[in-house]
Structure 1
Amino acid sequence: MIATMSSEVSIRTQAIEAAIASLDSNFFRALCEPARVAVLKRVMQLGRADVTAIAADLPQERSVVSRHLQVLLDARIVRATKVGRQMFYEVDGPAIIARLEGILKHTQGIAAHCCPATSL
């Protein structure tokens, strides 16, 4: 009985640690700033574009948009390609999907151990 409880605690602990590891703070920090989300939406609308095109319809100055793009790049939400002296940005869909799927997988794993479903 004690071995079974110890095993359950170990499985729960592993599930919790995996869930915590999947919660990349840079990813969430990048998405919690409304101005940065507006930049991301603009990149989504334009597809592959440089900072001048992205900043054109936004209220922030180009340098501010550039800093927001760097945060999105560091969080692997967008990717950048340098062509000559210009940097082009686009949404990194596969990276975002992989990150969200990982979060979902680990959250489902921990929910089974800590948050059993209840009927209303």
Structure 2
Amino acid sequence: MANPEHNIEESINLKFFLTMFEPVRFELVKHLADGKERSIKEIAENFTQDRSVISRHLEQLQTQGIVIKEKRSRHTFYTLDCELITQHIEKTAKSLRDLMNVHTKN
């Protein structure tokens, strides 16, 4: 019989979810959830952390594709990639549903 833990690990992109649900980063995700593009300055104004800390969190989100980063001249703008987030959640839900159905039928 296959190792269920191994299958679960394959079903979940853990790094994606850990990145998105880290408390400060999740607040950033919620802040950008309206779909509006914002500069780092506009984003940082809404948080108590230093702008450099916010920038590092946004970089982490960007490495997982959660936010889209666009540089224009000296300014950097961020938008939330709602489609990618939805795809990850739906894929994970389907994978887990399939995995659980397989294991509950045995």
So what's the TM-score if we normalise by structure 2? 0.83
Change (3 A) 1:82 1:18: farther
Distance 2:7 2:68 in 1: 26
Output the aligned Cα RMSD: 2.3
Aligned length: 105
The sequence identity of aligned pairs, in percent, is 27
Q: Is the 8 A contact 1:46 1:54 kept in 2?
A: no
Distance 2:86 2:35 in 1: 20
Q: Is the 8 A contact 2:39 2:75 kept in 1?
A: yes
So what's the TM-score if we normalise by structure 1? 0.75
Give, in angstroms, the shift of residue 19 of structure 1: 4.8
For residue 47 of structure 2, what is the aligned residue in structure 1?
A: 58
User: 1:18-60: CA deviations, max 9, x gaps?
Assistant: 6532311221111232111112222224710111100101100
Distance 1:68 1:97 in 2: 20
For residue 28 of structure 2, what is the aligned residue in structure 1?
A: 39
Read off the aligned partner of 1:65 and give its amino acid letter.
Answer: I
Distance 1:22 1:95 in 2: 16
Give, in angstroms, the shift of residue 94 of structure 1: 1.0
Aligned mate of 1:82, from 49, 71, 76: 71
Gaps of 5+ in 2: none
